[in-house]
């Protein structure tokens, strides 16, 4: 079931970032603190009462120039209402209603999506006066809150997560869903167009479709594959911050909806922070991943440059050594269908199940050769192993002291699983359980 995407929109200074931090700070939001990954995220995974969602703050995408701020806010509200599952529209209860609020409300009212109108900065005990000013926005009952003091945030989250089950009813599409993702200008649209050539079939029956179809069918050797969220690729803006916001919303949404994420990189530029973050996000969400290095035509002048480029890239991506890398050119069409072949093979890998007997026979000797030890030096006994799930594969290790197995040993086991059984392109999960 796709995790829902909740976007926070509103004018500057109404308290969007404060609300974002309040919501993710209260919960066990996943905050990554790895080298090479900054913590200035404007989106985060969190949950309320066991219901998971991804929260995005448009306040992180504000242009520096005053005369583009208003346009950017409107553009981002538009994207939020089209792409997110729910919009939190924040207004300032201290300032009261201002014309810009009405203009944003006008955009939000047009869509079918659920909008929650949050009147922030209601710090005191009697919200009525501050709230009544906002009924006229035509977005239903305004919900009072104080992001700063953390008041009524629980009520708000009850509303946000209240109808999660309703999004759960979409029929499962048996076609392989491939998302082509990557930062702006890496060549995503070019690749989609190159793959489709003339043979363009548009899906019209997808749930969630408003006016435009959001996915595209690719016919490949008689099989239908879905390229997800291709409509989002056509979006244009002159404002850099809006482009970044579109890019991240589309990325998150596409990852949620896909079976396989093809992360496109631009060979003519070095690997950037944003590229790594996209790879990280797909891996975190346990999708099968293929890395496709596009614009290879600009690099492959001679063998030596190509080899050196590839070596350096693999070195930078060594944390993700299990991901396959394909070198392509959407422009010359070089190896573009290899991307699809590799995506299909990664999908086969993520659906693979290793029999319990085989798993124990093969991994048993590795565990005997290097048994896990607790910090105090006590040996941890792994009794048996079973693959309890596919897509993503989950391996359960039944042992006497499940909490004592450290990260280093987890990596050892994961490497052994990969060296014996493959799972190329597939994030795997290891779970340690009491026998
Ligand atoms: P954003 O631009 O919409 O992201 O707004 P910020 O989150 O940066 O907040 C703008 C200002 O409003 C900051 O000075 C916050 O401390 C203040 N603020 C945010 N939430 C509240 C609140 O609930 N009550 C009060 N009194 N101030 C708040
Ligand atoms: P998107 O923003 O990721 O969808 O990127 P586009 O498909 O719009 O491509 C961005 C730019 O890169 C355009 O100018 C393309 O012509 C160019 N481009 C795309 N693929 C290739 C390629 O394989 N080789 C070269 N040299 N340029 C490419």
| Ligand located closest to 246 CA | 2
Which atom of ligand 2 is the closest one to the Cα of 294?
Answer: 23
Task: Tell me how far apart the alpha carbons of residues 237 and 299 are, in angstroms, rounded to a whole number.
Answer: 29
Ligand 2 centroid – CA 201 distance (Å): 22
| Ligand located closest to 268 CA | 2
Instruction: Kindly state if the Cβ of 390 falls inside 6 Å of ligand 2.
Output: no
Q: Which helix (H) or strand (E) holds 345?
A: helix 336-350
Say which CATH class 176-350 falls into.
Answer: alpha beta
Q: Which helix (H) or strand (E) holds 290?
A: strand 288-294
Identical fold for domains 4-160 and 176-350, yes or no, is yes
Ligand 2 centroid – CA 328 distance (Å): 12
Which atom of ligand 2 is the closest one to the Cα of 192?
Answer: 7
Instruction: Kindly state if the Cβ of 6 falls inside 6 Å of ligand 2.
Output: no
With a Cβ cut-off of 6 Å, ligand 1 is lined by 10, 12-18, 59, 120-121, 123, 146-148
Task: Tell me how far apart the alpha carbons of residues 23 and 125 are, in angstroms, rounded to a whole number.
Answer: 21
Ligand 2 centroid – CA 239 distance (Å): 19
Give the Å distances, CA to CA, from 351 to 116, 198, 385, 413: 39, 32, 18, 20
Ligand 1 centroid – CA 337 distance (Å): 50
User: What pLDDT is stored for residue 165 in this prediction?
Assistant: 57
Which atom of ligand 2 is the closest one to the Cα of 182?
Answer: 3
User: What pLDDT is stored for residue 47 in this prediction?
Assistant: 87
Using 70 as the pLDDT threshold, list the residues of the chain that sit under it.
1, 26-41, 164-171, 198-212
Instruction: Kindly state if the Cβ of 251 falls inside 6 Å of ligand 2.
Output: no
Instruction: Kindly state if the Cβ of 297 falls inside 6 Å of ligand 2.
Output: yes
Instruction: Kindly state if the Cβ of 329 falls inside 6 Å of ligand 2.
Output: yes
Q: Which helix (H) or strand (E) holds 179?
A: strand 176-181
User: What pLDDT is stored for residue 60 in this prediction?
Assistant: 83
Angle at the Cα of 222 (from 219 to 223), degrees rounded to 5? 65
Mapped onto helix, strand or coil, the DSSP state of residue 133 is: coil
Which atom of ligand 1 is the closest one to the Cα of 62?
Answer: 2
| CATH H-level superfamily of 4-160 | P-loop containing nucleotide triphosphate hydrolases (3.40.50.300)
| Among protein residues, the one whose CA lies closest to atom 11 of ligand 1 | 13
Q: Where are the domains of the chain?
A: 4-160, 176-350, 356-434
Whether the Cβ atoms of residue 393 and residue 426 lie closer than 8 Å to each other: yes
Ligand 1 centroid – CA 250 distance (Å): 27
Which atom of ligand 2 is the closest one to the Cα of 334?
Answer: 23
Task: Tell me how far apart the alpha carbons of residues 423 and 352 are, in angstroms, rounded to a whole number.
Answer: 8
Bridge partners, residue 5, by sequence: 54
Mapped onto helix, strand or coil, the DSSP state of residue 6 is: strand
User: What pLDDT is stored for residue 367 in this prediction?
Assistant: 94
Instruction: Kindly state if the Cβ of 24 falls inside 6 Å of ligand 2.
Output: no
Instruction: Kindly state if the Cβ of 331 falls inside 6 Å of ligand 2.
Output: yes
Task: Tell me how far apart the alpha carbons of residues 306 and 244 are, in angstroms, rounded to a whole number.
Answer: 30
Instruction: Kindly state if the Cβ of 294 falls inside 6 Å of ligand 2.
Output: yes
User: What pLDDT is stored for residue 198 in this prediction?
Assistant: 54
Ligand 1 centroid – CA 120 distance (Å): 8
Whether the Cβ atoms of residue 101 and residue 115 lie closer than 8 Å to each other: no
CATH dotted code for 356-434 = 3.30.300.20
| Ligand located closest to 194 CA | 2
pTM of the predicted structure, to 2 decimals = 0.89
Bridge partners, residue 54, by sequence: 5, 45
Going by C-alpha positions, the residue among 99, 262, 102, 92 that lies closest to residue 177 is 262
């Amino acid at each position: 079931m796709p995790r829902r995407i909740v976007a926070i929109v509103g004018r500057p200074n109404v308290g969007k970032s404060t609300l974002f931090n309040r919501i993710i700070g209260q919960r066990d939001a996943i905050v990554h603190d790895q080298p090479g990954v900054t913590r200035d995220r404007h989106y985060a995974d969190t949950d309320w009462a066991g219901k998971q969602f991804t929260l995005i703050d448009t306040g992180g995408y504000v242009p520096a120039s005053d005369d583009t701020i208003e346009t950017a806010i409107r553009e981002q509200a538009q994207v939020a209402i089209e792409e997110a599952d729910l919009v939190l529209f924040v207004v300032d209860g201290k300032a009261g209603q201002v014309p810009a609020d009405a203009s944003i409300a006008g955009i939000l009212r047009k869509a079918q999506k659920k909008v929650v109108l949050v009147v922030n900065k209601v710090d005191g005990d009697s919200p009525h006066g501050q709230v009544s000013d906002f009924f006229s926005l035509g977005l239903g009952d305004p919900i009072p809150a104080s992001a700063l003091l953390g008041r009524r945030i629980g009520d708000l989250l009850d509303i946000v997560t209240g109808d999660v089950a309703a999004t759960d009813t979409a029929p499962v599409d048996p076609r392989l869903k491939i998302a082509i993702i990557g930062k702006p200008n890496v060549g995503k649209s070019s690749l989609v167009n190159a793959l489709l050539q003339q043979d363009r079939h548009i899906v019209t029956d997808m749930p969630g479709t408003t006016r435009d179809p959001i996915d595209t069918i690719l016919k490949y050797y008689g099989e239908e594959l879905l390229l997800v969220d291709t409509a989002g690729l056509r979006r244009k803006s002159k404002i850099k911050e809006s482009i970044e916001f579109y890019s991240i919303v589309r990325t998150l949404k596409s990852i949620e909806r896909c079976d396989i994420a093809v992360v496109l990189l631009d060979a003519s530029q070095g690997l950037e922070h944003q590229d790594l973050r996209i790879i990280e996000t797909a891996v975190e969400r346990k999708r099968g991943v293929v890395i496709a290095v596009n614009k290879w035509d600009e690099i492959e002048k001679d063998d030596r440059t190509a080899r050196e480029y590839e070596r350096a890239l693999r070195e930078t991506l060594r944390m993700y050594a299990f991901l396959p890398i394909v070198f392509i050119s959407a422009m010359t069409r070089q190896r573009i269908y290899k991307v699809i072949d590799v995506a299909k093979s990664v999908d086969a890998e993520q659906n693979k199940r290793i029999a319990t007997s085989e798993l124990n026979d093969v991994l048993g000797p590795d565990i005997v050769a290097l048994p896990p030890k607790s910090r105090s030096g006590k040996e941890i006994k792994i009794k048996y192993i079973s693959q309890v799930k596919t897509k993503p594969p989950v391996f359960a290790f039944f042992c006497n002291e499940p909490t004592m197995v450290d990260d280093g040993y987890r990596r050892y086991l994961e490497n052994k699983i990969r060296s014996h059984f493959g799972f190329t392109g597939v994030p795997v999960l290891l779970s340690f359980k009491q026998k």
